[in-house]
Each structure stands twice: as C-alpha cells, then as structure tokens.
Chains A and B, each alone.
Chain A
Amino acid sequence: MAADSLAGVGTADDLALPPRAVGRSRRGVGDRVYRGLILASVWLVLALAGGLLLALGWESWAAIRTFGLRFLITSHWDPVAGEFGALPFIYGTLVSSLLALLIAVPLSLGAAIFLAELAPSWVRPPVAFLIEMLAAVPSVVYGLWGIFVLVPWLRDWVQPALARTLGFLPLFQGPPYGIGMLAAGLILAIMIVPYITSVSREVLLAVPGSQREAALGLGATRWETTRIAVLRYGRSGLIGAILLGLGRALGETMAVTMVIGNRPEVALSLFAPGYTMASVLANEFTEATSDLYVSALVEIGLLLLVVTVAVNGLARLLVWSVGGPARGGRA
C-alpha cells in the first residue's frame, strides 16, 4: 500500500526504524489528511499526464476521422480548401532533428568524455557550469541570434562554400537564402548539445570506479580505460542521452520557427526553406479559422506528443539502466 509507506527514507533506514511502532489505528487525523494530500498530488500529476493525451486526442478527433492515414502521407496543406496533409512538417521535423543529431552527437560525447574522464579536475566544474548555462538560454534568444548572426553567416560564407565544394550533391544545391533546413539543423544542434553532454556526463560518472581500476591495473592508458571499461559499461545510458537530445530537437519550437523559412514543401536540398510540426503550430494555431483547421493542428500536436513520449520513455529507461532512477533524472 502506498499510503503505508511514508516513514523511512531508503532501504538502509528501514532497518533503523522500529517495525511499525505506530499502528494504523492510532494515527491522528492530521496524518491522514497529510497522506491524503500527498497521494492527491501524486495522482494529480498522473492524471495531468493522462489528461494531456485525452484532451489532444479529443480535439483532434475530427481531423483523424476525416483524413485518417492520408494526414500523414500527403503533402497538400491548404487551409482555405480544407485539405490537410502533414507530410512536409513531419519531413521537416525529422530532417532538421537528424541533421542536429549528426552535428551534436560527436561533439557532446567528446565533451562529456573529456569532462568525466580525461580533463584535469580543476577544469571540470567551470566547464560543466558553462554548459549548464548554455542549456538555460531561452529558445527565443537562440532564435534571435539565429536570425541576425547565424543566418547571414550561412548565407554569405558557408552556403556558397558548400555549393562550390559539394555542390554536385543534391543536398547542397539551390540559392543560398541563409534561412532553411541547414540553419534549423545548426541551431538545433547548438541547443541540444548541452543536454546530451550533461546527461552523458552523469551517465559516465555513474560508472563504478572499480571498472576503471580494473582496466588501469591491467596497464591500460587513460583512453583505453575509457573505451574498454567506461564507454562499454555506460553504452545504453549514452544512447539514452542521445535520445533525450533527439526528443528536445523534435519538439523545439521558437528558434526553429525563426530560422527555417516556414514553407510547407518537401525539398531534398538543405539550403531550401522547410517547416516543422512545432513551427506550424506556433505560426498557424491562433489564425486557424475553421474547426477542422484547429483539429488538424491539434492532431499535429498529438503526433508530436506521442513521438516525444516514446523517445523520452525509451531514453529514460536506458539512462536509468546505468545509474538508477535517482541519477540522470535531471536535464
């Protein structure tokens, strides 16, 4: 019974406490009220999570019933004609997030390994602090910086250079607008790097010291120790950290909306403007005029919810498998 279990802290304390010295019958009114409140808040959180799913499902029902699977695989988005196909948004979300992961994963894992294993100990706290600050920068500030610094830089320097050198690939063709998929992927990468880094770092720190000692004792160098004893042990947690980053990237709204160009098209080139699920919500929700339009937008929100819940759920289980639920629960 959950209500019976509020006396001790952890397993070690269970031994320290007298076994149920205070019986249920002698418990005062205050205790019962307090327990009721605590359990009420527990169930409230669970109910909110369930309500989230239900409310979005309810509001999007009209669109689900009208379009069915067509919603996911057609790319015609025409609110005036009442035609809603979400493919361009799904495509944009996936491509920008994968691009972000491609850039962010090597950097974050490198930084996490440096911070947890290889760096001199005086370097670790200040760098970890800076990375935490990076995680705290609001999305809209990233977007502002993206519009006025990143996008012009991409337009004037990076995209022309890419077009010259790798222009034979369809990925790097077309006019260099600056805004577009490449800008979105880059800004997303910058935004998810601190998450992946700090969770990976916690995963690595949760690897028991005896793992390292065993490898070092066999004469392994620092890097060999890290590779053989630490990374292999923490592998599933690291995958979890990457998935957490992916979850962030999928749902990130403001910064992406500000730099991706917001054009609902499926284009192969990374230079072309795109649109994501989150940004179509940000742009069109308040302007949606018909009920079906709102319903279609809510369905996009529902999709986003289901996908991020799946990604995050898997990520948490993987991270917990290394350090237990008490660690790695933050960020």
Chain B
Amino acid sequence: MSPAGRRLVSTSVSALTCGAAVLVVCPLLLISGFLLYQGVSAINVDFFLHLPKPVGEVGGGVANAIVGSLIMIGLAVLIGLPVGILGGVYLAESRDRRLPWVLRFVADVMNGVPSIVFGIFAYTVVVLPMRRFSALAGGFALGLILIPIVLRTSEEMVRLVPSALREAGLGLGLPEWKVSLRIVIPAARAGIITGVMVAVARIAGETAPLLFTALGNRFWHQGLDQPIAALPLQIYAYAIAPYDDWHRQAWAGALVLITLVFLASLAARLATRGRIVAR
C-alpha cells in the first residue's frame, strides 16, 4: 500500500476509535441529564426530612432510607476496613512467594463475584441464625464487598511509601509494628482514604445484597437487629411500583444517590491528586 494510503488508514482508524470513545461516554451524559431533569423538580426539603407516606398519599420523603444507608455503610466500613488495610500492608510488604499471590488472586476474584451472591452468603450466616432480617446482616454483606477493594488499594498505596522512611524508623530502633502503624500507614493515609472512598461509592449504590439481608423498612431504624431501610432499596421499590408519585420520588432518590456516589468518587480522586502517576 502507498504511504498516503497507509496514512489514510491510520487516520480513519483514529477517527473510528474516537467515535467509539464518544459513544462510550454518551450514556453517562444521557443518564445524568435525565436524572437532573426528572429529579430536581421532585426534590424538596420534605424529601430529606420526612418518612415515606402511606400508599395513595402524595409527598413524604426518604429520610429513613438515607439514615439507614449511612448506618449500613458505617457497619460495612467497621467490618471491612481493619481487615482490608492490614491485608494490604501484608501484600505490600511480604516477601513470601506464594501466600501474597494467592491472597491477591482471591481478592481480585472476590471483587468480581456478583454482589447478590454476597447477599445469599449473609443470609445463610447472619439472617438464618438470627432468624430475622437486620441492619447487621446488610452491613455484613456490604463489608464483604468492601474488603477486596480496600485491600488492593491499600496495597498499592503502601507500596508508594518510600522505603527510606521505613528504614529510618527501623534504624532508630523502633519495632516493626510501630514503624507500620506510626510511619508507613500515616504516610499512605491519603491513598488509603481514596481506596475507602472508592469502596464506599461502590457499596452505597448496592441494592442486590440488601434485598434479603436488610429487607427495607418504611419507618425509622429500630436497632441493628431489625430490618432497616436503604436508599437503593427504596429507589427500587418506588421504580417498580405503579404510582406516579413514587416514580417521581424514585428519580429524586436516584439523583441524591448518584450525587453522593459522584462526590465520594471525586473526593477519592482529589485526595490522591499528584500522587498516583498516569492512572
């Protein structure tokens, strides 16, 4: 082929791939555009402060669902964070050949396990023994989803801490645990927070694992051993119901949820700006 022809091919492939990139981004604009269009008009102060109204009454809010979601995210972080960070430190620092490889592999594979499967697991190990749906079971399911994400990001972040810092600590005669807890982990803090925010953004929107753990609730939370409301569950329930006012609230709830998720993702990016090269 002539040089001009080859250049033409190269340019047209560039144009095609550019078109693909545009098409890939399009749904984001379509979805967020629609959410804003439908959601903004449906959001008011009541929406954040009130309980859902009974069927047939217009108005009401999702305050209980927002609180419920926050409670379960808190539980998930409590359950998943220590394990995730310690595991990440292990992955970054271990010189063992096999075990880190296995753990990394298991964590990445767990990351791909459908979230509804974690829901079933939480059902069998928490809901069945307790004989009731509960906030605890929901938090447990979300915590399981959080662990592999925190584990892998903590690993990457601990790896980025210059070894000179660690050596300085060890050279001063500090025991390893102090070097880890007082020097290495604080130095990697911003990155670890990023990982947590990414994980929180992911679990905040999870619906499937909560369907048969947290179950949902139309009232304020009544203790960790009781069924509890969650924002994604509420959106789902409203979306598939046949009432216009509920559809309106589903859009509003989705707008609130996606705003929270985007803010968490954005915070995650800002926390490590300039620290991670070429992501």
Name A residues whose Cβ lies closer than 8 Å to a Cβ of B: 1-2, 5-10, 13-14, 16-17, 22, 27-28, 30-31, 33-35, 37-39, 41-42, 44-46, 48-49, 51-52, 55-56, 58-59, 106-111, 113-115, 118-119, 127-134, 136-145, 147-149, 190, 193-194, 197, 205, 221-224, 244, 247-248, 250-254, 258, 278, 281-282, 285-286, 297-298, 301, 304-305, 308-309, 311-313, 315-316, 325-326, 329-330
Beta-carbon contact of B124 and A55 below 8 Å: yes
Beta-carbon contact of A139 and B205 below 8 Å: yes
Beta-carbon contact of A144 and B95 below 8 Å: no
Whole-angstrom distance between the Cβ of A256 and the nearest chain B Cβ: 10
Whole-angstrom distance between the Cβ of B154 and the nearest chain A Cβ: 11
| Closest A residue by C-beta to B29 | A130
Return the contact of B163 from the options A5, A13, A139 (Cβ within 8 A): A13
Beta-carbon contact of B21 and A45 below 8 Å: no
CA distance in complex: A30, B179 (Å): 11
CA distance in complex: A8, B100 (Å): 14
Chain B contacts for A223, CB-based, 8 A: 9-10, 13-14
In this assembly, does B189 line the interface, its C-beta being within 8 Å of a C-beta of chain A? no
Chain B contacts for A38, CB-based, 8 A: 86-87, 89-90
Beta-carbon contact of A5 and B95 below 8 Å: yes
> Which of B48-56, B218-226, B254-262 participates in binding chain A?
B254-262
Return the contact of B9 from the options A9, A109, A221 (Cβ within 8 A): A221
Q: Which residues of B in the span 29-80 have a Cβ within 8 Å of any Cβ on A?
A: 30-31, 34-35, 38
Beta-carbon contact of B207 and A9 below 8 Å: no
Beta-carbon contact of B93 and A248 below 8 Å: no
CA distance in complex: A107, B119 (Å): 32
CA distance in complex: A170, B42 (Å): 43
Beta-carbon contact of A305 and B117 below 8 Å: yes
**Given contact pairs A9-B161, A41-B83, a sample of 9 additional A-B residue pairs in the complex whose CB atoms are under 8 Å apart:** A9-B92, A30-B178, A114-B20, A139-B208, A140-B205, A148-B247, A285-B120, A298-B120, A308-B117
Given contacts A110-B17, A251-B116, A316-B109, contact A45 B24 (CB under 8 A): no
In this assembly, does B271 line the interface, its C-beta being within 8 Å of a C-beta of chain A? no
28 contacts between A and B (CB under 8 A): A5-B94, A5-B95, A6-B180, A9-B93, A9-B159, A16-B167, A22-B170, A42-B103, A49-B109, A52-B118, A56-B124, A107-B24, A110-B20, A131-B25, A134-B25, A136-B201, A136-B262, A138-B257, A142-B31, A143-B239, A144-B235, A147-B239, A251-B112, A252-B114, A253-B114, A282-B211, A285-B120, A305-B114
- Dominant secondary structure at the A interface: helix
Chain B contacts for A298, CB-based, 8 A: 120, 124
Whole-angstrom distance between the Cβ of A310 and the nearest chain B Cβ: 9
Given contacts A42-B90, A224-B10, A285-B211, contact A111 B116 (CB under 8 A): no
Task: Type the 1/0 row for B94-133, where 1 means its CB is closer than 8 Å to any CB of A.
Answer: 1110010111111111111111111111011100000000
Q: Which residues of B in the span 234-279 have a Cβ within 8 Å of any Cβ on A?
A: 235-236, 239-240, 247, 250-251, 254, 257-258, 261-262, 265, 269, 278-279
Beta-carbon contact of A111 and B17 below 8 Å: yes
Beta-carbon contact of B6 and A145 below 8 Å: no
CA distance in complex: A18, B31 (Å): 57
Return the contact of A56 from the options B83, B102, B105, B121 (Cβ within 8 A): B121
CA distance in complex: A274, B16 (Å): 34
Chain A contacts for B25, CB-based, 8 A: 127, 130-131, 134
Beta-carbon contact of A56 and B206 below 8 Å: no
Beta-carbon contact of A149 and B34 below 8 Å: yes
Beta-carbon contact of A253 and B125 below 8 Å: no
Beta-carbon contact of B265 and A136 below 8 Å: yes
| Closest A residue by C-beta to B147 | A45
Chain B contacts for A132, CB-based, 8 A: 265
Chain B contacts for A42, CB-based, 8 A: 86-87, 90, 99, 103
CA distance in complex: A33, B27 (Å): 50
Beta-carbon contact of A253 and B116 below 8 Å: yes
Most buried by B among A137, A244, A247: A137
| Closest A residue by C-beta to B123 | A285
Whole-angstrom distance between the Cβ of B274 and the nearest chain A Cβ: 13
Whole-angstrom distance between the Cβ of A106 and the nearest chain B Cβ: 7
Return the contact of A114 from the options B18, B90, B232, B240 (Cβ within 8 A): B18
CA distance in complex: A210, B151 (Å): 32
Chain A contacts for B120, CB-based, 8 A: 56, 59, 281, 285, 297-298, 301
Beta-carbon contact of A7 and B176 below 8 Å: yes
Beta-carbon contact of B239 and A46 below 8 Å: no
Given contacts A253-B115, A326-B159, contact A141 B235 (CB under 8 A): yes
CA distance in complex: A313, B118 (Å): 18
Whole-angstrom distance between the Cβ of B236 and the nearest chain A Cβ: 5
Beta-carbon contact of A286 and B9 below 8 Å: no
| Closest B residue by C-beta to A59 | B124
Whole-angstrom distance between the Cβ of B128 and the nearest chain A Cβ: 8
Chain B contacts for A193, CB-based, 8 A: 24, 27
Chain A contacts for B247, CB-based, 8 A: 148
Return the contact of B104 from the options A59, A139, A325 (Cβ within 8 A): A325
